[in-house]
Amino acid sequence: MSAHGDHDMGHTIAGWTGTGLAAIGTTIAGVAFAAGSPVGLWLGAAILASSALASWALHLAGWGKPSGPRPADRRDWRLRDTAARSGHRDCLGCRLAGRRQPAATTVSSSAAAGSASMSRAS
């Protein structure tokens, strides 16, 4: 058990890379703002935007994680996510990349009862 208890904190290469780049970008933008440098502000904003793109690309390459907690044996940050190629269920990043899992077909109980009664009537 870790210091955080037995839950998935989401430590992944994609997450750490995005966080590191975002910290660098906001630091550069903050210093540039204080110094009155518009070039530095744009540089910081560009690095900040690249942090989102880098995290997304790494997530799609399998270095991220799906939404929700992972099984305990899959929580190591060095493990690749093998399900990333087909897309994660309810994942905005995967949907934006065109990776969609087939929707699970569920039949409501009233629709199932209606079809069952129709099959008995014929």
Over residues 9-22, the pLDDT tens digits come to: 668 888 889 999 99
pTM metric for this prediction: 0.67
Cα–Cα distance for residue pair 73/4, rounded to 1 Å: 16
Tens digit of pLDDT for each residue in 78-100?
777 777 777 777 777 777 777 76
| H helix or E strand, kind and range, residue 88 | none
Is residue 90 a part of any domain in this protein? yes
77 part of a folded domain: no
Provide mean pLDDT across the span 31-59: 94
Largest CA distance in the chain: 81
In a domain, 74, yes or no: no
pLDDT at 104: 56
> Is there a domain that residue 53 lies in?
yes
1 lies in some domain: no
Domains held by the chain: number: 1
The answer as to whether 43 is a domain residue is yes
Helices (H), the chain: 13-35, 38-58, 92-96, 109-121
Where in the sequence is the domain holding 101, given as residue range(s)?
A: 13-68+86-121
Query: Would 8 be classed as within a structural domain?
Result: no
